[in-house]
Amino acid sequence: MARSKSLRTIDDWTHVSTSHPNKVSGRSWSAQELVDGFCFVLGTAQVLWLGVLLVSRDLTLEWWSVLYLIAFWLLTAYVGLPRLQEVLTKIYVPDYFIGRTVTGSGILGDPVNLAVNGSAAQIHATMTQAGWMCADELTVKSSVGIVESAVLRRSYPSAPVSHLLLFGRPEAFAYEQQVGGSASHRHHLRFWPTPEGWLLPGGRRVDWLAAGTFDRAVGLSLFTLQVTHKVDADIDVERDHVVDTVTSSVSAARTEVLDNFVAAFHARNGGGDVVHTDGNLVVLDLSSVAAPADAALPQVVSPRLPPPALLVAGALSAGEALFHVVSLSLLALPSVVVLGLWAGTLARRAWARTLLMLACAAKAGAQLGSVSARSGHLGLATLLEAGVSVLILIVVSSDQARHWVTPDRTRP
């Protein structure tokens, strides 16, 4: 099948190699990888150290003590536990296709239960005709919108979905159907383009893989304690719902079932929700679907945009530098240097990222050691001073920052 311009764009986004995509080869560790690993583990230890300080310093029943507990939850749920999970999953989660997506922390996510043959334009035409809406890109604005929808019961039919990874990359786009006038309940389906030359187990070639689930409520993740959607356990029902809406609305769509694509299982997804499936994979053939040449295509996650967390780290660095410069602090020069190293990291300079990791690791270690040696109440200024360096180290030592600075174009 001829590959459309939109699909070539998605191939560029995936950064995958066309040479021996199903082969596995041994590799040795470079000096840069050893530094990355050291800073990765050290950052994990320091964020846990900071968490212990938050709850062990002069806590009373005063109302302001609640602020420390909230800070501890935020630190634990959105920094500490995800990083700890990332460390553990690097050890035991397979780094090859097993029919499961993974979260950004490396936890096994939703099972892959659909495959598609066709172009991005044909998927868009099909899903739109079948009554599905393309999900908005995940941004600060759309994140606020989905919170308002869930809390205030407001309609948001194109609410964003959280990213899941397949082939080491987030979904290219997602579609959804809102239920009940709120983003708390919705059908949703994520799509990933397969690498050029990549074959399903058994030798079958498909253009796309997809994972469909139904969000039944909002709750806390079992693994990270983050606020997240809770999915319905029977993902086969959601798979069949997608197929039914497509085949009943688009006459040119064809289906084929690959029985026992994976073994039937009963497990948990990335949020800790129980899911079960019969293991069958439905292949949707959309290659005969008419797609207008001027059709609006679903937005692809751009590889040219830096990770949002890296931008947040820059904002923290800029705020800290501004504070020290205005107050004529002795830390003004080091803070400006850190800000410059962040700018170099944003410009994809590997040396700048390495120096930034080492500088933040040393600075955070000194600050945490100084705080640990003190007694009494832990002030807000001291908390912020110690926390900023730790958070920047966590961000710049993450896989997302590493892939931004040095994209891996050989990983399928």
Identify the pLDDT of residue 240: 92
Tens digits of residue pLDDT in 45-60: 887 787 777 766 655 5
On the question of pLDDT at 6 being above 50, the answer is: no
pLDDT at 382: 65
pLDDT tens for 253-273 read: 999 998 888 877 767 777 777
Cα-only R_g, the chain: 23
pLDDT, averaged across the chain: 77
Q: CA-to-CA distance for 342 and 388, rounded, in angstroms?
A: 13
Residue 194 near residue 167, CB atoms below 8 Å: yes
What does the buried/exposed string (b/e) look like for 78-91 if buried means 16 or more CB atoms within 10 Å of the residue's CB?
ebbbbbbbbbebee
pLDDT of residue 375: 60
pLDDT of residue 28: 65
Supply the pLDDT for residue 305: 64
State both tokens at 298. Answer: 């679903």
d(CA 389, CA 401) in angstroms, rounded, equals 16
User: According to the model, what pLDDT value does residue 7 have?
Assistant: 38
- Band (pLDDT 50/70/90 cuts) for residue 16 is very low
Grade residue 411 by pLDDT with cuts at 50, 70 and 90. very low
Residues 195-227: tens digit of each pLDDT = 988 998 888 899 999 999 888 877 777 776 677
Question: 33 by DSSP, 3-state: which?
Answer: helix
- Across residues 81-88, what is the average pLDDT? 75
pLDDT computed for residue 290 by the predictor: 86
Higher pLDDT, 139 or 119: 119
**Closest CA relative to residue 176, chosen from 230, 272, 241:** 241
Q: Say which residue, 52 or 187, is predicted with more confidence.
A: 187
If one compares 289 and 50, the residue with the highest pLDDT of the two is 289
Residue 166 · residue 204 · CB < 8 Å = no
> pTM for this one?
0.71
Predicted local confidence at residue 218, as pLDDT: 75
Question: DSSP states of 65-94 as a string?
Answer: HHHHHHHHHHHIIIIIHHHHHHHHHHHHS-
What amino acid is encoded at 268 in this protein? R
- Statement: residue 149 has pLDDT above 80: no
Which of 185, 155, 189, 159 minimizes the C-alpha distance to 171? 189
Asked whether 266 and 370 are in contact (CB, 8 A), the reply is: no
> pLDDT-derived band of residue 275, with 50, 70 and 90 as boundaries?
confident
Higher pLDDT, 288 or 72: 288
22 band by pLDDT with thresholds 50, 70 and 90: very low
Q: At what angle do helices 332-346 and 308-326 cross, to 10 degrees?
A: 160
Kindly report, residue by residue over 297-337, the tens digit of the pLDDT.
Answer: 665 455 556 777 777 778 878 888 888 888 887 778 888 88
- Among 158-162, 170-174, 248-252, 287-291, the minimum mean pLDDT is found in 158-162
Give whichever of 34-48, 53-67, 96-110 has the largest mean pLDDT: 96-110
pLDDT band at 283 (very low <50, low <70, confident <90, very high): very high
Domain boundaries, the chain: 31-90+306-405, 97-285
Q: What pLDDT score was predicted for residue 408?
A: 54
Range with top average pLDDT, 105-114, 147-156, 292-301: 105-114
